[in-house]
Amino acid sequence: MRPFNHINAASIAEAGEALKKGGAVAVAGGGDLLGALKDNIFPEYPRTVVNLKSIPGLNYIKFEDGALKLGALTTLADIARSPIVGEHAPALAAAAKSASSPALRETTTIGGNLCQLPRCWYFRKLNNRFDCARKGGERCFALTGDNRYHSVFGGAGFEAPGGQRACVAVNQGELAPVLIAMAARLKTTTREIEAFNFFDVGVLSSTVLEAGELLTEIEIPPLGFAETCRYRRFAFRKSIDFPIINLSIARGGENPNSPGKPRWHICIGGVAPTPHIAKAAEELLNVNAPSAADLTPELAQAAGVAATEGARAFESNAYKLQLIKTLIKRELLAMSAPPAD
Ligand SMILES: Cc1cc2nc3c(=O)[nH]c(=O)nc-3n(C[C@H](O)[C@H](O)[C@H](O)COP(=O)(O)OP(=O)(O)OC[C@H]3O[C@@H](n4cnc5c(N)ncnc54)[C@H](O)[C@@H]3O)c2cc1C
Ligand code: SF4
């Protein structure tokens, strides 16, 4: 690691000001950022690291007016073992418990989990060996290189110095799909954003956050999605391994096809540059399964197939399409099963 200035921010305002000056990055638990600093992956080494954990009042879990609210600095371990989260959003607790390792979960935060940078091996290669499009360079090395873990739904176009670029790295964050499926709202220092609209692809960025803008709170509104939500991940190893695919399915709000019944939400991570909403599968279920009891094995299978609609896999990652189909089918069948006595 190279030398840098370290600021323990005392307030959100102080952190925001320090980050706007340029050459500065925010750190919460450091589970993502410290590895990036140690491996020297940035085109320009940050001059200043702004510690957010010294800001009081951003680490909490509360249930207020029917909504579950979490401060951005709440650790994954606190979320995983919180009785409040366990009661009102068990899938969120399950997702938090699946991430990384017990020791890392004690320090890493929900805010950092949502803002983490891509794991693409070209992007992460030591000493900025590949100055790829996502770092402001001209090329995406994964397009013609080893893309077995990359997007099966095409690349994300974005503006970079010198013109338009595309990136096929996936968003592999543990908590993004479950929060999107639960229709969470994210509060920043300047605005409130639906969880789905929070993610974006840019140079050294995975979110829509502007320079100096910080995530402060995650709110899960009382629409019914949180209670019904389920979380499932597939990884090669059982522990300390990023999900190859993770997904969440929930029912809540109002079904446009069956008034009085809840609608389906399905969000999949690890398959596209931002968390992917399986729209065709949602629509199929909204029409054919107003109640979970309407789910049949045939319908669950058809929903899995519909979830791959629009996919454009590379030769080396087409296996992900089968994973999507299987995981969705299994999860829907589990939802249709009557609860055990
Ligand atoms: C061995 C290992 C295994 C891992 N396994 C997993 C896994 O299975 N699943 C998974 O999802 N992740 C995994 N991670 C990645 C990482 O640990 C987690 O994503 C973690 O939740 C990141 O949180 P953090 O607080 O440590 O973020 P940090 O590293 O502190 O920050 C991450 C990014 O978010 C930004 N940031 C942090 N907080 C805010 C905020 N409030 N507002 C704006 N920007 C912010 C930082 O500037 C930085 O760019 C793993 C990491 C390691 C080292
Ligand atoms: S997929 Fe994205 S992060 Fe990976 S090499 Fe291409 S542009 Fe860079």
Task: List, in order of start, the domains of the chain with CATH numbers.
Answer: 60-341 (3.30.465.10)
- Whether 269 is in the pocket of ligand 1, judged by its Cβ within 6 Å, is no
Q: What is the pTM of this model?
A: 0.98
Q: Residue 26 and residue 12: Cα distance in Å, rounded?
A: 11
pLDDT, one tens digit per residue, over 101-118 is 999 999 999 999 999 999
- Whether 149 is in the pocket of ligand 2, judged by its Cβ within 6 Å, is no
Terminal Cα distance for the chain, rounded: 55
Q: Residue 339's pLDDT band (boundaries 50, 70, 90)?
A: low
pLDDT value for 238: 84
Q: Residue 26's pLDDT band (boundaries 50, 70, 90)?
A: very high
- Whether 167 is in the pocket of ligand 2, judged by its Cβ within 6 Å, is yes
Q: Residue 340's pLDDT band (boundaries 50, 70, 90)?
A: low
Q: Residue 16 and residue 37: Cα distance in Å, rounded?
A: 20
Residue 17 has pLDDT above 80, yes or no: yes
Atom of ligand 1 nearest to the CA of 28: 30
> Ligand 1 centre from 290 Cα, in Å?
37
> Ligand 1 centre from 115 Cα, in Å?
7
> Ligand 1 centre from 107 Cα, in Å?
10
Q: Residue 22's pLDDT band (boundaries 50, 70, 90)?
A: confident
Residue 341 has pLDDT above 60, yes or no: no
pLDDT, one tens digit per residue, over 36-72 is 999 999 999 999 999 999 999 999 999 999 999 999 9
What is the mean pLDDT of the segment spanning 232-240? 93
What is the mean pLDDT of the segment spanning 169-174? 97
Residue 265 has pLDDT above 70, yes or no: yes
- Whether 120 is in the pocket of ligand 2, judged by its Cβ within 6 Å, is yes
- E strand or H helix that includes residue 26: strand 24-27
Q: Residue 337's pLDDT band (boundaries 50, 70, 90)?
A: confident
Q: What is the DSSP letter of 265?
A: E
pLDDT, one tens digit per residue, over 130-166 is 999 999 999 999 999 999 999 999 999 999 988 999 9
For the chain, give the percent of residues with pLDDT over 90: 96
Q: By alpha-carbon position, which residue is closest to atom 31 of ligand 1?
A: 112
Give how far Cα 199 sits from Cα of 42, 58, 208, 276, Å.
21, 21, 6, 10
